[in-house]
Each structure stands twice: as structure tokens, then as C-alpha cells.
Structure 1
Amino acid sequence: MRSELYRGMFLSVTNDTSNKVTDYSELSNKSFQILEYWIYSNQIKNEIEITQEIIDEIQVGIDYFQLNQTNPNLFD
């Protein structure tokens, strides 16, 4: 599940036309989930910290996708 989310996020960012991904829905959904977590956990964060959390999550997705490209069977 998580790997598919990351793949969708990366394809959305790169607009990979081979998979006909043309929107940022996965990226937006993940960003919303991060915001929702901080709101409901009552851990007040400023906008810089929240933005960094989103960036970190995107980077994990990009790293996963790049690893998967170099070794497609790694996560099977």
C-alpha cells in the first residue's frame, strides 16, 4: 500500500505520461494526511515544521521509487 502511494506521488510530480498520471492527487492526499495527523495529535507545529514534514515524506517516496527503478524486485 505504502509503496503504491509513493509510486503515485512520484509519478504525479514527474508527470510520467507512460502511466497517464496528470494530476497531483496522491501528493495532495499525503500532504493532507500529514496536516491531519498534526492537528489531531494536538502537537502544535508552525508552518515551517509542517512543510518540512511534507517535504520529508515526499523525499522518502522519491527515494523508494529510485531504489525500485534500479532493482525492481527489491520490494516484491
Structure 2
Amino acid sequence: DAAIGIDAGLDHLLTLSTGEKISNPRHERRDRARLAHAQRRLSRKAKGDGANRAKARLKVARVCARIADRRRDHLH
């Protein structure tokens, strides 16, 4: 009947009120680096209706979706 509090954070995936810490999956760092790279490339594209900017935006969106999917799968 005891309740346990859960805190979702950045350094650890989950921190329980019992003090137990569940670490992020190993692929998280690689995905964050890939996201940072894609975002830097997007930031260098000229704003407007350019096709290259649209492709860069889709690349960032795909990387974000991949991170969200992997995190959701790990939580499940």
C-alpha cells in the first residue's frame, strides 16, 4: 500500500522517492548529438521558403520523433 514518487529528469531517466535512480539509455547521448548537429545545420539555412531549409526542418523533426519514440519504448 506504500506510494512511491517518480521524478522524470535530464540527468537520470527516473528518480524514485526511495532514492533509486534509473539511468538514461546509452543511445540517448548519441541521439542528442545527432539532434544538435541537425539543429546547427538548420540554423545555417536561410529563412524563407527554400527547399533546403524544408529538408533540414524535416531532418530535425525526424530526429526528435526518434528520440521521443525510443524514450517512450524504454518507459514502456
Mark yes or no: TM-score above 0.5.
no
- Higher strand content, 1 or 2: 2
TM-score using structure 1 length: 0.41
Higher RCO, 1 or 2 (CA under 8 Å, sep at least 6)?
A: 1
TM-score using structure 2 length: 0.41
- Higher helix content, 1 or 2: 1
